[in-house]
Chains A and B, each alone.
Chain A
Amino acid sequence: MLEYFFRRVVTLFFTLVFASIIIFVSLEIIPGDPASYMLGINAQEDTVIALKKELGLDKPKFERYLIWVKGMLIGDFGVSYTYRSPVIEMVGERLWVSLPLAIYALLLSTIIALPVGIFAAANRGKILDFSIMGFTQIGIAIPNFWFAMLLVYLFAIILRWFSAGGFAGWEDGIILGLKSLTLPAIALALPQASILARVMRSSLIDILSEDFMKTARAKGLSFKKALISHGIRNALIPVLTIIGLQFSFLMAGAIIIENVFFLPGLGRLIFQSIAQRDIIVVESVIMLLVFSVVLVTFIVDIAYVIVDPRLRSSIL
């Protein structure tokens, strides 16, 4: 177990190193630099050079890469070029929007999707299953930003139940904060819930055809009970992967939804920082997102081991 853990940590580490190189290199070749962006069209050449120097952009590329990586290792993500405030603080503040939004959306989609998927699998072939699957197909096909626009149109502009965008902040109470995250979370959750419901259904159908389900029935369990006590837990294994993937997707994939609803989250930060060529922020946020993907995969793998005794022993 320890060794498995250790090996996974090493792969995780190498993935991150490669990711950091890819991120750094690709951002280096993006045209435009933060100094000229900040100084605008009336700035003189020497002013731009002076600002570059002040920002540390005059150092050789390799040195800057090392500084960045070294900094990250000790938890120092550097200082934003444009905002001149520590990246870690900026990211931290945005996380308070992105993370709750991702969790909110994930909870929404899981709570809706799993029962629906189980229900459809239990009634497979019937008209109910057919219509549920039809709805999930539509859910997958709807671009979430368009769905978000329609939500805004309906609930903010016509009905005026929610505000069309912005984030109320957590200071004024959790309810207000959640309220401003509700429409975005719904927009994010719809396609995710559709995917999850489908995965849950097909996974459960696969399990239902397994021999041990027949064993369970032969023991005297009713279909429903066999489904609950033998089917669902086995079927949850592939679902777990999807949930894991979705979490990282929701963290990063919210980028467009954050723009539609004007939420000050990580996605907006990254968009804005790319536009402003605030490279150090972009680098750090992407790195953080990559890290979260890798970490979630890691956690999902560990969760597998906990759920599935076969894996537990194979890595002992």
Chain B
Amino acid sequence: MMPLLKNKNLSNLSFSFWVGSICVLFVFLLAIVSFFWTPYDVTSLEISNRFKTPSYNHFLGTDHFGRDILSMIMVGTQTSIAVAMVAVGIGILFGLPLGLIAAAKRGTFFDDLVMRFNDLIFAFPALIIAILITAVLGPGAFNAIIAIGIFNIPVFARVARGAALTQWSKEYILAAQVSGKGTILISIEHIIPNILNLLIVQATIQFSLGILAEAALSYVGLGAQPPIPSLGRMLADSQTMISIAPHMAIFPGLFIVITVLGLNLMGDGLRDYFDPKLKVSNS
């Protein structure tokens, strides 16, 4: 990211970017802290202490097993972030090369194949495929990653291909070809750096979608398994208790919203920054 920012002024970053960054930073910080410390142990239950409303001892109250909701959220956020991040990684790892090769071989059979493959995956309702995958492999964080990751592949393939195509039509690519550089070298040396900003923006969007997807999967019980807390499962657990302990439903949901909102705002801010044409203040 740094080389992208090199020639630009950070003060051009929009207000929404900073708001988003603060949200994301806050959530990430909580998640990182939870590796070392949480206010309470999330694996030990104290049934007699259940359904406590927010108080000094438990900032966000306790759940139906008497666990501290703040601690649960901290660790749950960590799970969400990990799942979504790796899923985005999968998408980039497979999608980017596919898209780059398709763009380099534009108009060929391979290109067509990649595009048809994309269409095929897009034709499946995402959640249902995720359910199928977890039904085949069994529920769990790892399989949730695969299920979400698979849908990221065509997304990145499409973005990379589209962005790379505009680069391929530019004359500097011809100049590189005239300098004897091959497709792969050109893709690495010229294409990737020039489409990186689009990829970063897409990655933040997919990241936020991944968090939502992870929440949805664990809400239906297909995400990380207990005793690992996850925000989606906390919501699922709270559902029958919403009339007795609404705080159990409100806080985990709020955290999902903050995380996703933060990432989206950041992504938007970055997009405006990279592509001033879209900036609001212009014309």
Residues of A within 8 A of B127 (CB): 252-253, 255-256
Residues of B within 8 A of A26 (CB): 132-133, 136
Contact, CB under 8 Å: B264 / A149: no
Contacts of B25-47 to chain A: CB distance below 8 A: none
Residues of B within 8 A of A286 (CB): 124-125, 128, 132
Interface assignment of A112: CB less than 8 Å from any CB of chain B: no
Residues of B within 8 A of A256 (CB): 127, 216, 219-220
Number of A residues, CB within 8 Å of B: 48
How far, in whole Å, are A202 and B275 apart by their CA atoms in the complex?
13
Interface assignment of A13: CB less than 8 Å from any CB of chain B: no
Among the stretches A64-72, A223-231, A287-295, the one at the interface with B is A287-295
**Cβ 8 A contact of A137, one of B125, B136, B264:** B264
How far, in whole Å, are A34 and B253 apart by their CA atoms in the complex?
36
Contacts of B98-147 to chain A: CB distance below 8 A: 116, 119-120, 122-128, 131-133, 135-136
How far, in whole Å, are A142 and B283 apart by their CA atoms in the complex?
32
Residues of A within 8 A of B238 (CB): 149
Give A265-287 as 1s and 0s: 1 = Cβ < 8 Å from B's Cβ atoms. Answer: 00000110010000000000010
How far, in whole Å, are A289 and B128 apart by their CA atoms in the complex?
10
Residues of B within 8 A of A290 (CB): 123-125
Residues of B within 8 A of A253 (CB): 125-127
Most chain A beta carbons < 10 A, residue from B132, B208, B259, B278: B132
Contacts of A196-211 to chain B: CB distance below 8 A: 202, 205, 209
Interface assignment of A220: CB less than 8 Å from any CB of chain B: no
Closest A residue, CB atoms, query B117 = A18
Contact, CB under 8 Å: B120 / A153: no
Interface assignment of B13: CB less than 8 Å from any CB of chain A: no
Contact, CB under 8 Å: B283 / A209: yes
Interface assignment of B72: CB less than 8 Å from any CB of chain A: no
Give A209-240 as 1s and 0s: 1 = Cβ < 8 Å from B's Cβ atoms. Answer: 10000000000000000000000000000000
Interface assignment of B265: CB less than 8 Å from any CB of chain A: yes
Interface assignment of B201: CB less than 8 Å from any CB of chain A: no
Interface assignment of A180: CB less than 8 Å from any CB of chain B: no
Interface assignment of B281: CB less than 8 Å from any CB of chain A: yes
Most chain A beta carbons < 10 A, residue from B124, B126, B220: B124
How far, in whole Å, are A14 and B123 apart by their CA atoms in the complex?
12
Contact, CB under 8 Å: B123 / A150: no
Number of B residues, CB within 8 Å of A: 46
Interface assignment of B84: CB less than 8 Å from any CB of chain A: no
Give B258-272 as 1s and 0s: 1 = Cβ < 8 Å from A's Cβ atoms. Answer: 111100110010000
Interface of A is mostly: helix
Residues of A within 8 A of B212 (CB): 141, 143
Give A11-23 as 1s and 0s: 1 = Cβ < 8 Å from B's Cβ atoms. Answer: 1001100110010
Closest B residue, CB atoms, query A27 = B132
Interface assignment of A30: CB less than 8 Å from any CB of chain B: yes
Residues of A within 8 A of B249 (CB): 146, 149-150, 153
Residues of A within 8 A of B116 (CB): 11, 14-15
Output the least CB separation between B158 and chain A (Å).
13
Contact, CB under 8 Å: A125 / B280: yes
Output the least CB separation between A148 and chain B (Å).
10
Among the stretches B178-186, B190-198, B239-247, the one at the interface with A is B239-247
Output the least CB separation between A82 and chain B (Å).
16
Contact, CB under 8 Å: A274 / B135: yes
Contact, CB under 8 Å: A138 / B125: no
**Cβ 8 A contact of B216, one of A11, A141, A145, A249:** A145
Interface assignment of A94: CB less than 8 Å from any CB of chain B: no
Contact, CB under 8 Å: B280 / A129: yes
How far, in whole Å, are A56 and B224 apart by their CA atoms in the complex?
36
Residues of A within 8 A of B131 (CB): 255, 270-271, 274
Residues of A within 8 A of B124 (CB): 19, 22, 286, 289-290, 293
Contact, CB under 8 Å: A15 / B120: yes
Contacts of A118-151 to chain B: CB distance below 8 A: 124-125, 129, 137-138, 140-143, 145-146, 149-150
How far, in whole Å, are A301 and B256 apart by their CA atoms in the complex?
35
Contact, CB under 8 Å: B216 / A143: yes
Residues of B within 8 A of A252 (CB): 125, 127-128
Known contacts A30-B136, A137-B265, A259-B220; 18 further A-B pairs (Cβ under 8 A): A15-B120, A26-B133, A125-B280, A137-B16, A138-B257, A138-B261, A141-B208, A143-B232, A149-B235, A152-B242, A153-B242, A153-B249, A205-B278, A251-B125, A256-B127, A274-B132, A286-B132, A293-B125
**Listed A/B pairs (23) with beta-carbon separation below 8 Å:** A14-B116, A15-B116, A15-B120, A15-B123, A29-B136, A30-B136, A137-B16, A137-B268, A140-B260, A140-B261, A141-B260, A142-B257, A143-B212, A143-B232, A149-B249, A150-B250, A205-B278, A255-B131, A270-B131, A271-B131, A271-B220, A286-B124, A290-B123
- Chain A residues within CB distance 8 Å of chain B: 11, 14-15, 18-19, 22, 26-27, 29-31, 124-125, 129, 137-138, 140-143, 145-146, 149-150, 152-153, 157, 202, 205, 209, 248-249, 251-253, 255-256, 259-260, 270-271, 274, 286, 289-290, 293-294, 297
- Chain B residues within CB distance 8 Å of chain A: 16, 116, 119-120, 122-128, 131-133, 135-136, 208, 212, 215-216, 219-220, 232, 235, 238-239, 242-243, 246, 249-250, 253, 256-261, 264-265, 268, 277-278, 280-281, 283
